[in-house]
Amino acid sequence: MSRCRSQRSIIWQRSHQACRCRGSSADRTAPATELAGYVSNRMRDHRILIGTDGPYDNVLKIRPPLTIEAVDCDLLLSVLAEVLRETSSFN
């Protein structure tokens, strides 16, 4: 359970950084479309399908199957945390 909390913390921190923009107030509305696309494609590389949605395609949309189990959720979280660590170069 603590591993899951740790991964959620990493995911929250990275997604919060991606949403926070630097600069003038006009920059704060800049969508993270490229980042969401990168995450979606890298998850696909790991055989986990996550889509993008929203007016700017900057929202990750997870559609788990009805038969998802805890072990599947753990896998999704660990891979998502790994992919989000890769995005540290995004600004």
> Where do the structural domains in the chain lie, given as residue ranges?
2-89
Q: CA–CA distance from 68 to each of 13, 17, 20, 89 (Å)? A: 25, 29, 32, 32
Helix (H) or strand (E) holding 61: strand 59-62
Q: Taking residues 78-83, what's their average pLDDT?
A: 95
What pTM value is reported for the model? 0.67
In this predicted structure, the answer to whether residue 23 has a pLDDT above a threshold of 60 is: no
Superfamily holding 2-89: Aspartate Aminotransferase, domain 1 (3.90.1150.10)
- Choose between 3 and 62: higher pLDDT: 62
